[in-house]
Amino acid sequence: MYGKAAICLSFVILFLISCSIYVGTVDFRSYFFPLLQSPSVPRSFCATHRPLRVYMYDLPRRFHVGMMARWGSSEGEAPVTAENFPPWPSNSGIKRQHSVEYWLMASLLYGGDGEEGREAIRVSDPETAEAFFVPFFSSLSFNTHGHNMTDPETEVDRRLQVELLEFLHNSKYYQRSGGRDHVIPMTHPNAFRFLRQELNASLLIVVDFGRYPRNMSSLSKDVVAPYVHVVDSFTDDDSLDPYEYRNTLLFFRGNTVRKDQGKIRVKLAKILSGIDDVHYEKSVATPQNIIMSKEGMRSSKFCLHPAGDTPSSCRLFDAIVSHCVPVIVSDNIELPYEDEIDYTEFSIFFSMKEALEPGYLVNRLRQFPKDRWLEMWKRLKSVSRHFEFQYPPKKEDAVNMLWRQVKHKLPGVQLAVHRSRRLKVPDWWQQKR
């Protein structure tokens, strides 16, 4: 009896193993020799908790910190290190808003505190790198070399772009991936204005997509960064009743003459002017006006963020670090870290059509519950650290959040690289069907 049972059991086991091997779902070693099974190799960049390994190209200083010489920051042609890396100048004014490129470079130069809390570290061997950072300050180059497009000095900006492309095209690592794993900041709308299309395969760091054609930049490929805020952070916002302390309902201070969707600013001025607890003022970004904007935001419940020349502007992030609930009126805006942060927890959104309906926006804000506003204010205080650019970098600050976003994009980069290596015809997926 026992012999027959043993034979039947053996037959069942052999049958199941045969079926499993046939369909390819069983690793035979894992069933019978688990200790001999080799450790699994992570397939996803996002599944690991170690920092992203980034190789930073060693470009001459004229491509980055050499442009800061006019602010008194110069070390000749000495190699850039953590020790001689110049601080961002306090007298840079509104140019600070486009300095993401500077802070990303600074974070890779920083060598303290090991890997704790860091989303990316610099590696000296490009063969071990998962991504490549190109330290060209394209936004500062636009702001430095002939800001007006007709200025003859713009030739300096164009020449830098030509030289950079020559350098990249001669890099075997750029050639290997077609530039797809190369991280290039372009946060000013006119950054890399002459040869931008030459880099459409790379992973771009942008603030929005207002000046980029869809075949060059997209939410699936690129990373949306915050502007670097220009007002001081509100670090001692500890009022017992912040809702009552902030006596202005809605605040806006800035340029009202803008292009494209930014034309809404002039229309909003007509609708909002003359309302007692609404401050809507035309202004330019001088040092004194930046201070006045800071004071206005800190004393207001809501801060208006209409579209500008492009869908976003620095004003949104000034409002966040001022703990003033953003009121966003921009139909095509994209926001940083939106796979990790829900902006509806601390911001209010209106379509442009809604905002232009007389009385609609202000009436909605007047009816907004105090307890809900207080929840948003508390949330702003909590998330504002994610919008701080600083050196040394800190855990969960803006640069670490951006490097984490880069890490999120790399599986898609690897997919594109691997597909490109085996395709024998133009990518059929991109053809019209």
Q: CA 78 to CA 424: how far, in whole Å?
A: 46
pLDDT confidence of 34, banded at 50, 70, 90?
A: very low
pLDDT of residue 37: 37
Check: CB of residue 161 under 8 Å from CB of residue 195. Answer: yes
Compute the average pLDDT of residues 236-258.
93
Q: Of 13-17, 207-211, 355-359, 373-377, which gets the smallest average pLDDT?
A: 13-17
Size (the chain), residues: 433
Q: Where are the beta strands (DSSP E) in 207-335?
A: 223-224, 248-254, 278-282, 300-306, 325-329
Compute the average pLDDT of residues 173-180.
96
Q: CA 235 to CA 200: how far, in whole Å?
A: 40
For 90-140, write each residue's pLDDT tens digit: 888 899 999 999 999 999 999 866 677 899 999 999 999 999 999 999 999
For 56-90, write each residue's pLDDT tens digit: 999 999 999 999 976 655 556 778 999 999 999 98
Q: CA 218 to CA 392: how far, in whole Å?
A: 31
pLDDT of residue 35: 36
Compute the average pLDDT of residues 127-156.
90
Q: CA 378 to CA 382: how far, in whole Å?
A: 6
pLDDT of residue 39: 38
Residue 264 has pLDDT above 70, yes or no: yes
For 402, the enclosing helix (H) or strand (E) is: helix 398-422
Q: Can you state the angle between helices 100-109 and 398-422, rounded to 10 degrees?
A: 90
Q: CA 355 to CA 338: how far, in whole Å?
A: 23
pLDDT confidence of 6, banded at 50, 70, 90?
A: low
pLDDT of residue 148: 73
Q: CA 244 to CA 88: how far, in whole Å?
A: 37
The dihedral of CA 431, 223, 69, 94: what is its sign?
Answer: positive
Is residue 200 exposed (0-12), middle (13-18) or buried (19+ Cβ within 10 Å)? Answer: middle
Compute the average pLDDT of residues 380-387.
98
What lies within 8 Å, CB to CB, of 195 at 6+ separation is 158, 161, 162, 165
Q: Dihedral of the CA atoms 68, 74, 77, 78 (nearest 10)?
A: -120
Average pLDDT across the chain, whole number: 87
- Choose among 27, 104, 28: nearest CA to 65: 104
pLDDT of residue 428: 63
pLDDT of residue 111: 80
Residue 143 has pLDDT above 80, yes or no: yes
Residue 323 has pLDDT above 50, yes or no: yes
Q: What percent of the chain has pLDDT over 70?
A: 84
What lies within 8 Å, CB to CB, of 138 at 6+ separation is 101, 161, 184, 185, 186, 188, 191, 192
